Structure 1
Amino acid sequence: MTLELTRVDYTLLGLTSPQCMKLLPGAGSKGMQKVVVGDHEGIVQLFSLKKGEIQVAFKTLPGEKITRIQLGGALGTIQDKIFCSSKNEVRGYTKKGKLFLGFETSLTELIKSMHVSGSDLLVAGDHVYNHYKDCKDANAFLCGDKINDLISLNVEKYHQLVPILACQDRSLQVLDQSSVCQTVTLDSSPLTLHLYHNNGGDLGDHILYGTEDGTIGLLQISKSSCTTKWIIQSEKHKGGVLSMHCYDMTGDGIPDLLIGRQDGLLEVYSMPTDIGEDNQPPLERFSYSCNESVTSVQGGVVGNTGFDEVLATTYTGWFFGLTTGVIEKQVSGDGGDLNSKIRLSNDDKMKIIKLRAEVEELEQKVMKECEKYQSSTQEDSPGFSTIPFLSISDKMWLCKEDAVYMLSLEVQTAIDNVLLKSNVPLTLLDVEKNSAVVSHSTCDPLTDCKLLATYRCQMNTTRLEVRVRTNEGQHGTLIAYITPLIQPKCCQLRHYPIKLLSLHTRCHEFDPSRSYNVLTLKGAFSLAEMHAWVSFCLPEVPEKTPVSQHAEFTFISTFLGTMLNCSYGKGEAEFKSDNISTISILKDVLTKEATKKKIKLDISCNINDDSMISVINLLHPKIEFYVNLLKQVTLLEALNDVETHDNNMSGCLSAEYKQILHNQHEILAQYNKYPGYLDRLKCAVVDLYVDWFKFKGINVKPKIPLLTDALNNYSLDLILSFFNNKVM
């Protein structure tokens, strides 16, 4: 069953953070519901819709930015109490706007996540989690990495409070009071958590999670165990999941899963009737792209009684619905102008007259303000010019499938252009969703600028995505100059560090069966100093130094598939990798950083001869695939000419050539999807070759042209002979 939903825009609010919009329970199953929204101006407002017009129940004064809104109430009652967090304070309102709670927490960080369960209040900043019982401290926990979201199992069904933290280190931390009782590892960083069916399921222990790479999963969690019920893998580079809700949109009696994503995609999935042993994932029934980050999504009845809707808010403040109601215009079949063709009711005519009057009033106000500004900028006036501060939501993350970085920029107003500048060589790749025109400028060789490119955006573009390909072994900074379409002209700067091992990503499983090269460092360095050095080299390393006496992190290369294990403490560090180039980069950088601080290091390297063969065998399937793909693309032009000019000759082609012609669209799509991928693989083999013999004290740079020729005429045996030093 495919849903047919129609978008209806209701109002434009202020900027909103994720999960800052909720629907209050309505009267009956299809009764009209009220909407509560908190924005960046600190305004919390509760409103409903009557005949398409906004009816405000209450609206607070501006204040600190609202970071989260939750509904609560006594256990077993209707959850219609409104809780909002701003800075380190939690306020509670009734649906009539009465303030019944003003609680300043002991949290030293800004509240980023919040969950309310009866008299239990759970709040978390970037690293600190606090639990309050009747507004009194009950438990606290310091997390080693950033906390993205928190939730607890359904207390009414599970009969105990079990908090769960979604952490940036690709894990869920299940807490028992103030300690971790279980760690659930994931393939990507979880951004949001939600109770299955909004109540945790029959037992209250089923949790939905959405990750940074767009994956959605269902887990059955307890204090001692965790079972994965199903996973929806992200396809076509879907954005991260910012909000989830369960609501029956298909009318089959089973709540559907509503998803709001960072790239503006809204989705509806039908849940399986049974989440037993077959573990069937939900099926997608509807998707809609609004081209802005969807910060909150809810299911309910708001616009018209009896018609279900998917309600959503965007980052820039749009509040709209995707309704099951049919929006029709009655058009007569007779002639005449356009106005005579559309039959409008008296109510519609009055609305149009009212809207026209409002537009005229606004136009007059704008004209007066423009004249006032123009007169203030004249030479004989004192003059003034202010640069407005515009909030920008930006994020840069590594896409594991493509081994490229995605840079997302979203501004509260239209973007005029974005200038990208970097002091390290970077490659900008095309993004299908972008309508912006990119132009590259020549960099001055006397400066350290290696990239200079401008994206000129189309009208009313508030969100821009950029794909950036990096090269390991070089570190620097990517700077974005974001210019909005406003007067006076101004821009804001954003800096994004490019790490030395930028294509490595965190993982939780270390493969001990591989052949590893080991780099050992000993010296008078502290744990904090070594942690800072590791953070300088690698992405996804926690900002704060581990509280324990020892730290250990495992990484995998998204490009090559090699692994790296970092284990260090005070005075000693050990790095293991099957890629000798990774060891070489770490050795050079760590030595340089220690020299800056005048710390003497005792360095030892244990080179495993089998690691070279294992890495070459690891890269062989990729190189062979792209070599064959390049051959097929090269042949396509000639085969198409044969087919075009001589149909008789095309019938004599071999089965292999016919297969290439038959699959030419897939071949070209695969080739264009990863431009330059084969050249990157060849460069990785050359670097491996140079670094391998560098540790053996042999200079093989004169042989690089021969190795390049061998890679162009690829053969696994020939490449292995190079590394075995049999080719002279």
Structure 2
Amino acid sequence: MELELSRVDYTIVGITSQNCLKLLPPSASKEPQKVAVADSDGILQIFSVKKEDIQLHFKTLPGPKISSLQLGGAHGSSSDKIFIAAENEIRGYTKKGKLFLTFDPGMTEPVSSMFVLGNDLFLCGKHIYNHFRDCKDVGSYLCGDQIVDVIAFFADKTRRLMSLIACEGRMIRALEHARVTMSMEVESAPTLLHVLEQDGTKTVLFGTVDGRIGILDVEKLHGFDRWLIDNSSNSSTISCVDSYDMTSSGTKNLILGRQDGTIEVYVINVNDNLDAPILIYSHNCNESVSSLQCGVIGTQGFDEVLVVTYTGRIFGLTTEAVDKSVADNTMGNYIFSQDTGNKINKLKSEIEDLQVKVAKEREKYQNSTQSFFEELSAIPLLSVKDSFVLSKDTATYTLTLEVPTAIDNILLQSNVAIDLLDVEKNSAVISYSDADHAIGNFLLATYRCQVNTNRLEIKIRTIEGQHGLLHAYVTPLVQPKCSRLIQFEIKPLSLHYRIHKFDESRLFNTLTMTGTFSLAEMHTWVSQSLPEVPEKPQFGENTVLCFQSTFFGTILQCSYQKGEAFFKSDNVSTISILKEFLTVEATKKKIKISISSNINDESINHVIKLIEPKLIKQKDLNNDIKLLNALNELEVTEEENRTCLSEKYRNLLANEKELRREFQSQPDYLDRLYGIVTDLYIDYNKFKGCNVKSKLATLREILDEYSYDALIQFFRPELSK
């Protein structure tokens, strides 16, 4: 089953954020709906489409950035009231543009997410959750994790009002009367929440940073149920979700918008675990999608997916057939209707007028910059949407940079050793400059972008144990020339991610640290060494955080309070990196500390067993590439291939493209594995007080002729006695 949709461009607004677009309910079925959209310039506008023309109903004056737009109304009535959150103020408008509410919730943080349900208003800042009823405070909750989204609904069975907040720390919390009633752990950091209503029942869905959609069972399981869409082919972050019957089958489809600009439509069945979702439509607009809504917009009777991108471009994907043959015909001599001809002539005259205005303004600006009077050259304000997300599958970071205008180039500079990997979506030309390690330059690379590129995605491979800063200088194609600097922190244990369940059955190495440090100081040190650490420590006597390595699956537990910290991990290198980093940080603050460690020799066997599959696979891949290079030098014909070569070599040649693609996706991967085993050997012996640099050449030889028993014997020679 395939869904055919045609793209129709409508208009452009300012830079937008999530939850900035809503469709007002129609007065009759399949009647075109009005569109409410808000942008970062503080402008709220409502428009509709009539005969492909935009009809603006009202538009507010610019003001503070609008972070959220929601629709609401009294219980049992149509949700046609518009509510917007701008910094610390909530405003309400009717569909005709009349301001009927101005409300200051008195929050100490700007409102980042909002939800309206009848007379109830739910507001969230970075850490604060507030519930208001008829603009009166019902309760508040202070969350240690950063809140990313909030929703509310009446439970199907109990009919009690329940709200959910999605938190960055891989947690979704349910609240009643502003008190947490349950905490639901999820595998990946959530980005949004959505309530799917079908046949009188409600299903809570959530999107994640790694591009998956999960189902929560709030009433029975009181937690995570299953993954609805586990899309391994597209790991781009879910930025918006809507549910709507696009196929007119009587069952709602799931429509997703992703950060890489992909819009997807799925056929789903949330009631059957065995019924896998089916992708029936996919479209990429090459800009990150801020929000989308489904309804009837352009033509009466035709359903449509209305999309707004980060740069403010609004377009629709409509079920109505749109003639595309005119663009494909290069002969000219087109025959248009009188109405279409008038529209084309009108557009041509508007373009000519705009070109004349731009030329005049450009000339005026150039003259002012060359004037002898004290006139200033104004540097435009450059807004950059950036993300730096760790991928669990590849143990790499994905750096995404997007600006509202075309990018000229991006310069990356780092004071720590990192590798830049190829990305298929990336068409930019990269050039490396000589980096001076003596002054802390380990990377200096420039990405020169193609024409009209306003979004760039880069994959970065970090090395644990090394920490520093990655600087990205983004230079757009604007005059006068300017650049925006974005900084990203590379942490010592950068390849770890937060987990909530800790396996106590493993063999652990421990590190105990005591001293005159406070809880806040130790929490700061932990957050500087590990990603996904909440900004504030847990409330209570002891803060406990658990992490897992994306590379090998080794785990780490951090337990600390005022004056005492305890760390345990099944990886000696993790303990060694923490010990070195914490010692340096305590020395900087002149805090006296006492450190003791306990190393479990058996943990070495465990870690090497975890490394072994990757090591063997990569060695086999390297050998296959060497054999392929040799076979290509022989220039074997197809006939000789069939008659002379063995089955092994024929299979290699048949799978050559796939093998080379895998090899090129992780360059120098084997050397990286060798380096990790070498660091493990050095760290293990460092705790024993031995300097083993003279034995590293022997270790390399053992790795080249890999044998698990030989490697264990080299690490632990006492076993052979």
Q: Report the TM-score, using the length of structure 2 for normalisation.
A: 0.96
Q: Does 1:232 align with 2:229?
A: yes
Q: Does 1:459 align with 2:451?
A: yes
Displacement of 1:153 in angstroms is 2.4
Match of 2:323 in 1: 328
Alignment partners' CA distance in 2, 1:155 and 1:106:
29
Match of 1:255 in 2: 252
Match of 2:51 in 1: 51
One-letter amino acid of the counterpart of residue 54, structure 2:
I
- Written as runs of structure 1 = structure 2, the 5 A alignment for 1:642-721 is 644-645=636-637, 647-648=639-640, 650-721=642-713
Alignment partners' CA distance in 2, 1:652 and 1:232:
47
Alignment partners' CA distance in 1, 2:688 and 2:90:
62
Displacement of 1:429 in angstroms is 0.8
One-letter amino acid of the counterpart of residue 379, structure 2:
I
Q: Does 1:301 align with 2:296?
A: yes
- Written as runs of structure 1 = structure 2, the 5 A alignment for 1:616-635 is 616-635=608-627
One-letter amino acid of the counterpart of residue 50, structure 2:
K
Alignment partners' CA distance in 1, 2:548 and 2:646:
42
688 and 79 in structure 1: CA distance in 2 versus 1, 3 angstrom threshold: same
Picking from 367, 375, 390, the partner of 1:383 is 375
Alignment partners' CA distance in 1, 2:46 and 2:276:
36
Alignment partners' CA distance in 2, 1:349 and 1:600:
82
Cα contact 1:175–1:223 (8 A) shared by 2: no
Picking from 244, 254, 265, the partner of 2:262 is 265
Match of 2:475 in 1: 483
Displacement of 1:544 in angstroms is 2.3
Q: Does 1:207 align with 2:199?
A: no
Match of 2:170 in 1: 170
Match of 1:505 in 2: 497
Cα contact 1:111–1:124 (8 A) shared by 2: yes
Alignment partners' CA distance in 2, 1:201 and 1:85:
32
Picking from 441, 447, 459, the partner of 2:439 is 447
One-letter amino acid of the counterpart of residue 89, structure 2:
E
**Partner secondary structure for residue 711 of structure 1:** helix
Match of 2:306 in 1: 311
**Partner secondary structure for residue 342 of structure 2:** helix
Match of 1:140 in 2: 140
**Partner secondary structure for residue 659 of structure 2:** helix
35 and 649 in structure 1: CA distance in 2 versus 1, 3 angstrom threshold: closer
Alignment partners' CA distance in 1, 2:174 and 2:646:
60
Q: For each residue in 1:57-76, what CA deviation from the matched residue of structure 2 results, as whole angstroms up to 9, or x when unmatched?
A: 11111111111111110112
Match of 1:284 in 2: 279
Q: For each residue in 1:177-222, what CA deviation from the matched residue of structure 2 results, as whole angstroms up to 9, or x when unmatched?
A: 22221111111110011111xx376333x11110011111122213
Of 495-504 and 584-593, the range deviating more from structure 2: 584-593
Alignment partners' CA distance in 2, 1:715 and 1:184:
43
One-letter amino acid of the counterpart of residue 509, structure 2:
N
Match of 2:99 in 1: 99
Cα contact 1:330–1:343 (8 A) shared by 2: no
Alignment partners' CA distance in 1, 2:463 and 2:497:
14
Alignment partners' CA distance in 2, 1:645 and 1:47:
65
- Written as runs of structure 1 = structure 2, the 5 A alignment for 1:144-155 is 144-154=144-154
Q: How many residues align?
A: 720
Cα contact 1:157–1:203 (8 A) shared by 2: no
- Written as runs of structure 1 = structure 2, the 5 A alignment for 1:415-434 is 415-434=407-426
One-letter amino acid of the counterpart of residue 285, structure 1:
I
Q: For each residue in 1:664-708, what CA deviation from the matched residue of structure 2 results, as whole angstroms up to 9, or x when unmatched?
A: 232222222222222111111000011111111222110001101
Match of 1:349 in 2: 341
Q: Percent identity?
A: 50
Displacement of 1:378 in angstroms is 2.2
Match of 1:34 in 2: 34
331 and 110 in structure 1: CA distance in 2 versus 1, 3 angstrom threshold: closer
Cα contact 1:11–1:318 (8 A) shared by 2: yes
**Partner secondary structure for residue 543 of structure 2:** strand
Displacement of 1:647 in angstroms is 3.7
Alignment partners' CA distance in 2, 1:303 and 1:461:
29
Cα contact 1:527–1:550 (8 A) shared by 2: no
Q: For each residue in 1:602-646, what CA deviation from the matched residue of structure 2 results, as whole angstroms up to 9, or x when unmatched?
A: 211111111001000111111111111111121123344557158
Cα contact 1:426–1:469 (8 A) shared by 2: yes
Match of 1:245 in 2: 242
One-letter amino acid of the counterpart of residue 148, structure 2:
N
Alignment partners' CA distance in 1, 2:93 and 2:158:
28
149 and 201 in structure 1: CA distance in 2 versus 1, 3 angstrom threshold: farther
Match of 2:538 in 1: 546
Q: Does 1:12 align with 2:22?
A: no
Match of 2:487 in 1: 495
One-letter amino acid of the counterpart of residue 506, structure 1:
R
Displacement of 1:652 in angstroms is 4.5
Alignment partners' CA distance in 2, 1:157 and 1:392:
45
One-letter amino acid of the counterpart of residue 623, structure 2:
K
674 and 330 in structure 1: CA distance in 2 versus 1, 3 angstrom threshold: closer
Alignment partners' CA distance in 1, 2:663 and 2:348:
53
Alignment partners' CA distance in 1, 2:156 and 2:121:
15
Displacement of 1:380 in angstroms is 3.4
Picking from 587, 595, 601, the partner of 2:593 is 601
Alignment partners' CA distance in 1, 2:602 and 2:180:
39
In the alignment, structure 2 segments of 5+ residues that lack a partner are none
Alignment partners' CA distance in 2, 1:638 and 1:607:
46
Q: For each residue in 1:503-549, what CA deviation from the matched residue of structure 2 results, as whole angstroms up to 9, or x when unmatched?
A: 11111111111111010111221111110111111111112233323
Alignment partners' CA distance in 1, 2:8 and 2:376:
41
Displacement of 1:725 in angstroms is 2.3
